[in-house]
Every structure is written in structure tokens, then in C-alpha cells.
Amino acid sequence: MPKDSHNTYQIKISGQVQGVGFRPFVYNLALKYQIRGTVSNNEDGVAVYCNSSKKKVADFLSDILNHKPETAIITTYSIIDLPYIEYNSFEILPSEINKKINIPLTPDFAICNNCKTELSEAANRRYHYAFTTCVHCGPRYAITNKFPFERAHTTMDDFIMCDTCKMEYKAPTNKRFHSQTNSCSSCGIQLQLTTNSAEVITKNQIDCIDDVASFIIKGNIIAIKNTSGYLLCCDATNRDAVITLRKRKKRPHKPFAVIYSSLEAVKKDFNPSIHEERMLQSGVAPIVILQNTKKTAIAVNAIAPNINQTGVMLPSSALLELIMQKVGRPIIATSGNLHGSPILSEEKEARKKLEKVADYFLNHNLNIQFPQDDSVVKFADSHKLVLRRARGLAPNYIEAKAISKEPVLAMGAHLKSTFTFVPNTQLYVSQYFGNLENFDVLERYKTAIDQYIELFQTSPKTILIDRHAQYESSILGEELASKIGAKIYPIQHHKAHFASVLGENQLFTSNKKILGVIWDGVGLGDDNQVWGGEFFTYHNSKIERLTHFEYYDWIANDKMSTEPRLALFSLLNDKNLVKNKFSETEWSIYTKTITKNTLITSSVGRLFDAVASALDIVDVNTFEAEAAIQLENCASSYAGNHFTDFLDGFDYDKIPSQYIIETITKTYRKGGAKEQLAYSFIYTLAMAIIKIAQKNHIDTIACSGGVFQNSLLTEILIKEAEKQTLILNLNRELSPNDENISFGQFMYHQHIKN
């Protein structure tokens, strides 16, 4: 034995390093370097102990860092000298357990290309096996019971590997070496196809896929249990089938997503940018919102009525991959649930709730611990806008380190609920749950909180809630705090949004003043009015309200958020201009109530609504944010360059909400073009940000809030900020909408000392 290997080193690597094939990767590398020792998962990540020379171990480590498995994310690593211990071979050790867990929860990964190839090779063991996975792909978070990521800690534990699978698992050179989700058709997960009255049609795995494909082609609706929950599917080229699905799901207008079999198939219908292509093909496999083209051959008017865009994704699992290959045309895939309820994942419940929606059910016997919707992503040029953060993205938040002294639970908002749990130095931002006013969503949200407390064996000592005491999350937070004796702090909604974007961009330590531009629909302000068009400053750990959109009347409670015509009515001085949008009774009631009204708002969300109504685009929403989406759609179709900044020459002490709306309404009535006015409106808003930054001599801007889901606004803003050499910060891994509130609450609590 050469002298120089008489050293023992310990290498520690943390980040997203479990459930991504890290140990087998290190193992094979160790063989290559002829290094002896061990590798194991532990409470902080991966630990390697080895005998090696100093030079060799350095090369070994840099090889690890440079060639890590594709889905691994390394946040920190260390190497130290240890007293000599002799190793005789290199081994993968089972995980150390019973310690406090301090690692990311690995998200689910879409099927990798290798596995895809194996599926279609007739001679391969995994030919047509619908649950083919490897160390690089497959469900992770969805099936997690416990830490660390070991088969015994997942619901895969219900399946005992056959001898061949076991061999693969044990063979260092096999690509399924140490693959925790390893299984095959003889030992693994079984499909079953039934009618909606639970009659079994077939249990033959290949027939299941063939039959589902032919049912889809015939125009039927199938509930397919994917590895993250049920999807409702039908032929996307069959208008009648799509409309039937709409009727049965009681979802008349809200867009559906479409699965394509491959990127090539997507390209036949759309012109995705390089960023969009990469996103579609990534391990996240989210829904990517693409611009429709002339060649788009699916039933677009039924899939996304009046919207010039389609949510597109590629198969996220072997099961969907096989179905897509067989169907040979794009299919609708929408979360398997009833109107507003959470995605279903349990066979009995799915049958009960979806029996009138689906004609057939494709079930399987893998239990899902954390059901998740598909994530949704859109691009504003190269900037990735997360619209819904769920499968493949949740729940890790690796980029921000938590420095909390004690465990914290942040409850988030109400309509787009998430929670953030910080049991240790890792930060977990849950998947999107939905509207907490829905009983099933609230139950799902509660259950997940309990699961996290159980998973980490840690109870929160501090609970953070929104200042709006009527959010179900606030009510639950209060209940929880008094039950477990935790401290509770309410945090203002828009300040939490601001803290989210500050946190995502590591700006809390900045010594320059930062302008926070927080625009959304509704949040309860410090003055008990409805905020939503806020400008803050952040400096020296303090957030202050700099200015805001001029207040206008908030009328008719939540109804104002669903009827853009009410926002327009409220904003116009000359209300008679919109009399035609109301019935006589409505008119006489609203004209009276507005004179007695006391609730006022600075909401920019409602300003978008008002413009949509002023331009006769949408007067009453049929689904959430419809007006904003349609308005963006309209503005995006403007191809000219005769747009105006309506506030050019204004002093920007406050943004004159009424003036903007009056101007647009009157110009439109005089014959102004919708598209041009819609574009000018968004341009005016973008310029307001630039002007306010300049007026206040601030060069760093941070924007958040639901309004920044608007990709046109974001695009204009990116361009204009660059022109003026202003530094623009946006939400990155999190959505700008209320999904980021829980994270923002935590960041606010950590860093703000108002």
C-alpha cells in the first residue's frame, strides 16, 4: 500500500444530494480513483470517509463537484483530515438515522431520457413498464414518509424488489445501483383500468395503456393516477371531448393544460423559445405557457377560450410517456378534482368525487403522501415567471439560508395558500394548495402542516400569520399557536411580499436603499384599508411605505374582485359613462352605496380590471384573474410603437388612479384602439416604477405581488430598467403572487426590525 494513502479524509456535502443518485455516483468515482472508504447519507447531506493521498482526494472532490448528478444541487461542502482509520474497500453505508434532519426534501423528477429509451426497447426489462425510474428520475417528495431518502422511508416500501431488481440495486455499474425507487413489472407498481362504476376492465399492464389510449381517441374522459395525483385527460384535438370535460367539471372557461408527446410535437404547434424548450424538457416538466401560433392544431377555443396562449407540458412520468406514445396526439391534462378542491390521489376518494366526470379510471397501487398539482411557468423574455409552484419545484428552498434560532411556521395567505416551515437551517416552502375557504383544501393544508411537524419531529415555536384576521390561514395559525403554546406575529401582506423578493435576491444585507414595488389585488393595510398599489423603501432593516396609488372606493366586498365593471365604476368621476354596464337596479344601488362607502383601496389589480372593463374586454370574470389575463392578451397583440405614458410630466408623489382610468375610458370612447390603450396602460405602470425610483434617487428596485405575473409588464420593466441602469429584482424560484407570502412572512420576521 502506498504511503500517501495513509491519510483519512472526511468530505461533507450538503444541498439537494439525497434521492438524486449521489451515493452511487460517489461510489463509482471512488472506484475510478481507487479510493477506499465509505459514503452515506446523513442528517446534513452526504458524508464520505476515505483513505487517500492529499493530491488524489483533492482531484476526487473536484470531480464530485464538477460532475455531480444532474439533479443534485450542492450548497456547501467541506473536507477535513481525520486520524487514520483503515478501509479495505469502498462501500455505501445505510443512512444514519435518529438524528435531527437538516437537508432539503428532494422534489419529484420527471422521467429521464435513458428511462424513456428503455420503455420503448422491446428487449428491455422495462419495456412498457409504467413506473420505470432510476437514480435520476421518478417520484421523491410525493412518496416521502420520513427522512433521509431511503426506500424504507417512502411508500415504495410496500413493494419488495425481485431478485433481478435487487441485483441492479446492488451492482455498482448498473444505472439503478442504489436506486431507491427501483422496481419492474414483476415486482413493482400495478395498473388497473376500471369503468366509473368500479368494474375492472383489465389488470394487464400493456392492455391498460392500450385501452386508455383508444378510449381517449374515442373521445372519452379518463382519470389517470399519475405519481403525484389524479389527472383528468381527454383528446385535446377533440373539441366535443374538451367541452364535455368542461361541463362535467363545472369549469366553463378556465384554461386547461395540454400534454404533448415530445418537444418535436410541441414545435409543430408552437414556436417555443430556447428558455421555454429547456423548461419543458427539464426534470421539473412543468406546464409552460406558450403563445399560440397559426399552426396550433388543437381545439384552442375550447381549451383556453379567448386566450391566445396554451399551457403545454411534456410527460412527467413513464406512465404518461407510454400513454402519449400510444395516443399519438396531444391530450388535455387537468388536475383531478372538483371545482376548487385539491388534487385527488386516493383511489376511493377519486372514484367518489370523479365518477360523474370521468368515464374510466386508470389506477395504480403506489400510495401518494404529498399530492401536488403540476407547476406552471411562463417566460417574460428570459425571465422565468413561476405562476404555480408545485410538482418538481416544491418544497425545497435552497438558495436562502435560514438563520432562525427556533423553529418557525409561516402560514401564508388565503387564496393561493402555501406555508413555510423552518425546523432547522433549511427552509421548506410547501407546494401550492389553493383557496383555503374550500374545506378540502383547508384539510389538505392542515394535514401537510401536521406531516411536516411529524417529518421533522419539530414543533414551531413561532407562528407567523397575515394581518388579515379573516384569512383561514390566520384563523388556523391562531388556533395552532394557542394549542402548542407558540408565539404568534401578524405581518402586513405587502410587506411580506416585499420581504419575499428581498429574501430571494439576498438583499437584506444591502447597504443601499431599495425601492419595493408591491402590486396585487387585495391585502389588508396597516390603516385597515385595502392595499394593493404600494411603494416601500427598505433600508437598514426597516421597511417604510413611501407612496401608493391614490385611494379609490372599494365597494361590494369580494364581489369587486370578480366584477371588473365595479372597479371601473368606482374609479370614474363621471359614472354615467358606464351606466350601460349595469341593470337599472344595480345602477341605483351602486350609485347610492358608493356615496356611503368608507372602505378605500390602492389596488393595482383592480386597476387592471377597470381597464379591461373600460375597453369592453371583460366586465364580469368567469374565473379568477380573467380580466387581467385578457387584458395582457390584448396588449400583447399591439404591434405598433405609438404607445403613451399617460403620466408623462406628472410629479409622482402619488399615482393618480382615477386620472389613468378616466383618460383610458375617454380616449377609447373617442375611438382609441383597444390594443394600443391596453399596451399604453401597462407601459404607464412600468414607467411609474422607473420614475419613482429616479425621483427618490434609488437605483435598486424589487417588485412582487400578483400583478407581476403579467409578463408584458415584466418585459417592459426589464427593458426600461436596463435603459436607465436601474437594478431590477423580481421573484425567482417563487411566484410573485400570494404563494410567496409564507416565505415573505418568514423573511420579514428574520430581518425586519421596524
Partner 1 sequence: MPKLDFDIITLGHGSGGVLTNKLLDSGVFDLLTNDILEERHDGAIINMNEKIAFSTDSFLVSPIFFPGGNIGELAVNGTVNDLAMCGAVPKYLSLSFILEEGLKMTEFWEVLVAIKFACENANVKVVTGDTKVVEKGKGDKIFINTSGIGNVHPKANIGKTRIQIGDKIIVSGNIATHGMAIMSIREGLEFESTIQSDTTNLNHTIINLIEQFGNDIHLLTDPTRGGIATVLKEIALTSDFGVDIFQRDLPMDDQVASACELLGIDPLYVANEGLFLSFVDASIANSFLEVLQNDKNGKNAKIIGSVVDTHPNQVILESSIGGKRVVSMLPGEQLPRIC
| Other C-beta atoms lying within 10 Å of the C-beta of residue 598 | 7
Distance from C-alpha of 155 to C-alpha of 524, rounded to nearest angstrom: 42
Report the 10 Å Cβ neighbour count for 45: 23
Catalytic residue among 23, 36, 126, 545: 23
Binding mask 689-708 toward partner 1 (x if CB under 8 A, else -) reads -----------------x--
Q: Find which of Zn ion, Fe ion, partner 1, none residue 135 binds, CB within 5 to 8 Å per kind.
A: none
Residue 43 binds Fe ion, judged by CB under 5 A? no
436 binds, among Fe ion, partner 1, Zn ion, none (CB under 5 to 8 A by kind): partner 1
- Determine if 85 is a binding residue for partner 1 (CB under 8 A): no
What is the DSSP secondary-structure string of 265-290? Answer: HHHHH----HHHHHHHHSTT--EEEE
Distance CA 748, CA 409 (A): 13
**At 295, which amino acid appears?**
K
| 592: contact with partner 1 by CB under 8 A | yes
CB of 586 to partner 1, least distance (A): 6
Contact with partner 1 (CB under 8 A) among 738, 745, 748, 752? 738
Question: Nearer to partner 1 by C-beta: 423 or 706?
Answer: 706
- Residue 38: beta bridge partners? 49, 91
- Would you call 676 helix, strand, or coil by DSSP? helix
- The nearer residue to partner 1, 296 or 341, going by C-beta atoms, is 341
Span from 72-80, 92-100, 324-332, 731-739 in contact with Fe ion (CB under 5 A): 731-739
Least distance in Å: CB of 458 to partner 1?
A: 25
Reading the block at residue 514, the C-alpha cell is 431599495
For residue 128, give the C-alpha cell: 412498457
CA dist 407 and 484 (Å) reads 13
Question: Does 715 help bind partner 1 (rule: CB under 8 A)?
Answer: no
- Written as nine digits, the cell of 343 is 388534487
> Of 43, 150, 235, 440, which lies in the binding site for partner 1, with binding defined by CB under 8 A?
440
What's the grid cell of residue 534?
404600494
Can residue 577 be called a binding residue for Zn ion (CB under 5 A)?
no
Nearest CB to partner 1, comparing residues 19 and 605 = 605
Grid coordinates representing 460?
414551531
DSSP 8-state code for residue 511: -
Rounded to an integer, what distance in angstroms lies between the CA atom of residue 471 and that of residue 741?
12
Torsion of the alpha carbons at 118, 119, 122 and 128, rounded to the nearest 10: 150
**Residue 433 touches partner 1, criterion: CB under 8 A:** no
- Give the binding range for Zn ion (CB under 5 A) out of 131-139, 316-324, 475-483, 563-571: 131-139
Q: Which residues contact 736 (CB under 8 A, 6 or more apart)?
A: 385, 497, 501, 703, 704, 705, 706, 707, 708, 709, 730
Which positions from 539 through 558 interact with partner 1, judged by CB under 8 A? 554-558
For residue 194, give every residue at least 6 positions away whose Cβ sits within 8 Å of its Cβ, in sequence order, or none.
200, 201, 360, 361, 363
* Residue linked to cell 421596524: 754
Given Zn ion, Fe ion, partner 1, none, residue 398, with its beta carbon under 5 to 8 Å by kind, binds none
Selected range binding Fe ion among 261-269, 517-525, 544-552, 582-590, rule: CB under 5 A: 517-525
CB 500, min distance to Fe ion, A: 10
Is-contact 434 413, C-beta < 8 A? no
- Which one is catalytic: 36, 41, 51, 565? 41
415 binds partner 1 (CB under 8 A): yes
From CA 730, how far away is CA 543, in angstroms rounded?
A: 17
Which of 276, 520, 534, 715 contacts Fe ion by CB under 5 A? 520
Q: What is the DSSP letter of 144?
A: B
Annotate each residue in 620-649 with x if it binds partner 1 (CB under 8 A) or - if it does not, as one string: ----x-------------------------
Closest contact distance (angstroms) between CB of 738 and Fe ion is 4
User: Is 698:538 a contact under the CB 8 Å cutoff?
Assistant: no
The rounded distance, in Å, linking the Cα atoms of 468 and 528 is 9
Pick what 184 binds: partner 1, Zn ion, Fe ion, none; C-beta below 5 to 8 Å, kind-dependent: Zn ion
Interface characters, 36-65, with Zn ion (x: CB under 5 A): ------------------------------
Among 79, 162, 546, 577, binds Zn ion (CB under 5 A): 162
Contact call for residue 618 and partner 1 (CB under 8 A):
no
Strand, coil or helix: what is 220?
A: coil
Q: How many CA atoms lie less than 13 Å away from 351 in the CB half-sphere?
A: 14
Q: Is 112 in the site for Zn ion (CB under 5 A)?
A: yes
User: Would you count residue 738 as binding Fe ion (CB under 5 A)?
Assistant: yes
Contact between 520 and partner 1 by CB under 8 A: the answer reads yes
Assess 619 for contact with partner 1 (CB under 8 A). no
How far apart are alpha carbons 210 and 207 in whole angstroms?
A: 5
Query: Residues for the chain: how many in total?
Result: 754
| 189 counts as binding Zn ion under rule CB under 5 A | no
CA distance 102 to 12: 13
DSSP string of 598-644, one letter each residue = --EE--SHHHHHHHHHHTTS-SS-SSTTHHHHHHHHHHHT---S---
Applying CB under 5 A, which of residues 20, 101, 115, 234 lies at the interface with Zn ion? 115
- Contact call for residues 611 and 701 (beta carbons, < 8 A): no
Interface segment toward Fe ion; rule CB under 5 A; list 212-220, 253-261, 660-668, 738-746: 738-746
521 binding partner 1? (CB under 8 A):
yes
Could you give the count of Cα atoms lying within 13 Å of 163 in the half-sphere of its Cβ?
Answer: 0
Nearer to Zn ion, 206 or 338 (CB): 206
Regarding 565 and contact with partner 1 (CB under 8 A), the answer is no
Comparison of 162 and 673: residue with beta carbon closer to Zn ion: 162
Of 95 and 334, which CB lies nearer to partner 1 in the complex structure?
Answer: 334
Q: What are phi and psi of 43, to 5 degrees?
A: -65, -15
- Report, in Å, the least distance between residue 355 CB and partner 1: 12
Q: Say how many Å lie between the first and final Cα of the chain, rounded.
A: 63
**Among residue numbers 194 through 253, which ones bind partner 1 (CB under 8 A)?**
250
CB of 620 to partner 1, least distance (A): 12
Catalytic, 248? Answer no
- How remote is the C-alpha of 13 from its chain's centroid? 27
Q: Tell me if 534 contacts Fe ion by CB under 5 A.
A: no
The verdict on whether 88 is a catalytic residue reads: no
C-alpha closest to that of 309 among 378, 252, 253, 263? 378
Neighbours of 550 (CB within 10 A): 17
- Residue 373 makes contact with Fe ion by CB under 5 A: no
Q: Which stretch binds partner 1 (CB under 8 A): 49-57, 320-328, 439-447, 676-684?
A: 439-447
Footprint of Fe ion (CB under 5 A): 520, 738
Footprint of Zn ion (CB under 5 A): 112, 115, 134, 136-137, 162, 165, 184, 187
Footprint of partner 1 (CB under 8 A): 250, 338-341, 413-416, 436-440, 442-443, 468-472, 475, 520-524, 530, 554-562, 585-586, 588-590, 592-593, 595-596, 599, 605, 624, 706, 737-738
Which residues are part of the catalytic machinery? 23, 41
